[in-house]
A and B are shown apart, each in its own frame.
Chain A
Amino acid sequence: MSAHEHAGNGIKAVTGDEAVSAGGRDRGFTRRRLVGAAGVAGLMGVSGFGGEVLGRRRGLDAASASSPDELRYPFRGEVQQGILTPAQDTMYTVAYTVTTRNRDGLRRLLTAWTSASEKMVAGEPVGGAENDVELPPSDTGEVWGYPPSGLTITFGFGRSLFVDEHGGDRFGLKDRMPRVLADGVPKFANEALRAAASDGDILIQTCSNDPQVCVHAVRNLTRIAFGSATLKWGQIGYGRSSSTSKEQRTPRNLLGFKDGTANLKAEDDAELLRRHVWVQPEDDAAASWLNGGTYVVARKIHMHLEVWDRVRLSEQQEVIGRDKYHGAPLSVSDPQDSDEFARPDFAAPGRDGGTAIPADSHVAVVGADNNQGVRMLRRSYNYTDGNDSLGRLDAGMFFVAFVRDPRTGFYPVLKKMTEKDALTEYLQHQASALFAVPPGIREGDALVGQRLFE
């Protein structure tokens, strides 16, 4: 099922307005407001990170048009696109297993992928405008004449690209493997990970405002890889509103909550990003090629939606720690839309003698205030992979976060969440992925991650 169909069938996340009218209440519009104060956001919250402002300031993601279809982001820059880029409507992320045996073959693959990606994000056909009727077209054609729709293509390198399952050096890159990849992702409580849908040698994240543009990108990159790499797993995600304006409403996840206020704020400066997102020279001397890059952690989190939907509203709100309609923390009494970005007061008293925000609520467990100020740049999407054979929606969140060091910036929060968060009862982690995301493709670079090979 394509993400197109999701949208067409109305499965797309309900917006704030629709939720309000469905509830028969007149609370007006919820506008996303960008505040400078450190806020708290749940892990589950769809990223409300205001990348557009940061992007503009860094000159990285200045879009060339205002319509979502016409958006076009530069391919080359200090950091890869698709990280700070304002999150597009659709994501199609795939992981490949590299089958070529030698370093030259790997370089050739990355070079071919880089060329094709640069063309696709510019809205041009792969292989150029060739017209030889005796050849299969180099470009598969399903977006010929379409605008790039804000397409970004982002690459990551997994542990298994550096070493095989026996620790052997696959491509002469072993001594440059980042420590974070060598350490791997620890095991967490309540997870049921499927190896076939986890990790991989190379990750490619494609995001755009048109699902077909994403599918075209993945299809052509996969075709280019035949003989050098094969698809291991793929995930289509949806659930962003189409506006890239600051006025964009906070999207809702499939639990119906819009608690994605933001971990990192649009106004946060480069210093905060350096501290929490970008790998710094002092981090890992052996992996200096990754300086200015980042790590992406992804978790496929299945939601038991049928069960969740039978939970009383008061209990749902206590599980999340926020008001469902407005998104305000429960420490705000009689909340309004404008309270969405209010800072949670974990000490505020509740009705039954406890705190208004229960200690095991999602917000309390994973919020930055309660996690040594840990922050990450989240870029998650909702997913629906049809239904299982019992007729239950196979749906949830494809959680994606970019962090400087997951050992301090992600695992501790996830550990706490899987052990203490009341929400865990309604979730199951089904897949996990960790990749090193090289810094941007510089002017003059022939391939992504060129510094790894220099």
Chain B
Amino acid sequence: MKNTKYLLVPATFALTLSLASCADNPQASSGASASAGDTHKVTVDITDDTCTTNPSQIPSGKVEFSISNKGTKPNEFEILTENKLQIASEKENIGPGTTAELTTALKQGTYYTACKPNMVGNFVGLSELEVSQGDDVDVSEDTKAAEDRAIAGYTSYVKDQTGQLLTATQEFAQAYTSGEVEKAKTLYPLARQHYERIEPTAEAFGIEEAGDLDAALDARVQDLSTDAHKEPTDPEVLKGWTGWHRIEADLFGNDDSPFHFASDEERQQAADDLTENTQKLYDLVYGQIKGVDGDFELKLADVATGASSLLEEVAKSKIVGEEETFSHTDMYDFRANVEGAEVAYGNVADLVRKKDPALAESIESNIETVKALIEEQVSGRTDDGTETFRDYSLVAAVQKDAGEAPDASAYTETQRKFSDAVNALSEPLSKIAGTVLH
């Protein structure tokens, strides 16, 4: 029981905080190593038809360009790689008579600098910038350590959520098979939150083939029926459908719902399948069994794209109310996706802050906006203090009982606000990978 409480919401925030604070520690060391290697300074003078850099030879490492536009047009300063096609770094829209700073890290190699008056047309003042081998060794070692911490931190989170998922699933299955309908209905969205928090990662896992665990645990009848070119209520479709949503259809259906199981034996079978497959997921994540790709292992790309993928889930199936078409508990999934995204970001936040502080700030403030909107949908608390959400179909136009999706013009003001806030958050999140990966 203690464990049950721990897996509820406040614990997640505690976990997020602890990850954030553990990511904060290395900041001191990264500051120390940065001072070991100096920041090289380059002065850039721009007029409407010239673009000069001084010096034109620097050692590798952190470089700060002090750009001064003495021309009459807004200008753009670009650092191009040796092929003169790929932009290594740039500063757009430097107003006439203004100055700007551009800080970046450059490895050894040949680069080109150039300007673009009014941000269009051919390069002006294309000139070579030679970067010799310098002191960027410290920087990369420091980065490598931060990357390793990011992977380790996110791996622990995935393990932790999987562990909580297993316990919560077993508790839910117990209530469901013993006929405690109301309790089962309450536990359903709470248990699922642990899955939703790590959804993109969990989706990729497979025992026999990639994604087979997700298909067994989280398949939606809408997808199964369209794949089979049959109606969702077709007996063949229902026969091949297992996992959370199969049980959701039975548990939350009206009296005359065609989705009810015919017998308690079928219910028992569905609950057994669910716990069995969740156990497999747990065993895989904890290294007790091998998956199709061998041992469970996360890469930096999984962490860097994790947050973005979770928001993609929100945009595609939560806001439109397709995920929980029988129970309308989409708000729980929505919040869990965002919490998972916050943790995924939290693990690379240090790297992002270092390379692009403005991006970090944008992500962090937009996460807060989305969370505040989610908070508005809280309807109350359970006896043990867990927050509950409103039935999503009361505030949103949703797909009901796997039927037709709502008309494009039917979405509510609440959904519009969610959509706007999620778009605002998703854009900067989509840039994490480009900032962190190399």
Contacts and interface: CB of A to CB of B under 8 A. Distances in A.
Interface of A: 75-76, 99, 111-112, 114-115, 118-119, 122, 124, 128-132, 134-136, 223, 226-228, 230, 443-446
A134 B433 contact: yes
A222 to B, nearest CB: 9
Nearest to B437: A134
Contacts of A444: 72-74, 96
A132 B86 contact: yes
20 contacts: A99-B420, A115-B74, A115-B92, A115-B119, A119-B120, A128-B116, A129-B85, A129-B87, A131-B85, A134-B437, A135-B430, A136-B431, A226-B427, A227-B366, A227-B425, A227-B428, A230-B420, A443-B73, A446-B74, A446-B95
Interface centre among B96, B362, B366, B420 (most CB of A within 10 A): B420
Interface string B399-434: 000000000000000000000100111111011011
B86 A118 contact: no
B90 A128 contact: yes
A132 B72 contact: no
A122 B121 contact: yes
B95 A130 contact: no
Contacts of A227: 362, 366, 423-425, 427-428
Nearest to A227: B424
Given A130-B86, A227-B424, A445-B74, A118 B434 contact: no
Interface residues of B, number: 33
A336 B366 CA distance: 65
Contacts of A132: 86-87, 434
A95 to B, nearest CB: 15
B70 to A, nearest CB: 12
Contact of B434 (A114, A129, A135): A135
A261 B431 CA distance: 51
Contacts of A230: 420, 423
| 7 cross-chain pairs, A with B, having the tightest CB-CB distances, nearest first | A135-B434, A227-B424, A134-B434, A122-B120, A226-B423, A134-B437, A131-B86
- Please report whether the interface of chain A is mostly helix, strand, loop or mixed according to DSSP: loop
A444 B96 CA distance: 6
B interface majority secondary structure: mixed
B167 interface: no
Interface of B: 72-74, 76, 78, 85-87, 90, 92-93, 95-96, 116, 118-121, 362, 366, 420, 423-428, 430-431, 433-434, 437-438
Contacts of B426: 226
Contacts of A135: 430-431, 433-434
Contacts of B437: 134
A114 B433 CA distance: 27
B120 A118 contact: yes
Which residue of A76, A114, A128, A228 has the most chain B CB atoms within 10 A of its CB atom? A128
Contacts of B424: 99, 226-228
**Residue of A131, A134, A135 contacting most chain B CB atoms (<10 Å):** A134
Given A131-B85, A132-B86, A444-B74, A118 B119 contact: yes
A136 B120 contact: no
Contact of B93 (A115, A134, A226, A228): A115
Contacts of A445: 74
Nearest to B90: A128
Given A226-B423, A227-B428, A444-B72, 18 more contacts: A75-B120, A115-B119, A118-B118, A118-B119, A119-B120, A130-B87, A131-B86, A132-B86, A134-B437, A135-B430, A135-B434, A226-B427, A227-B424, A230-B423, A443-B72, A444-B73, A446-B74, A446-B95
Contacts of B119: 115, 118-119, 128
A227 B361 CA distance: 13
A129 B86 CA distance: 7
Contacts of B116: 128
A129 B119 CA distance: 12
Contacts of B93: 111-112, 114-115, 446
Contacts of A228: 424
Contacts of A114: 93
A76 B118 contact: yes
Nearest to B93: A115
Contacts of B118: 75-76, 118
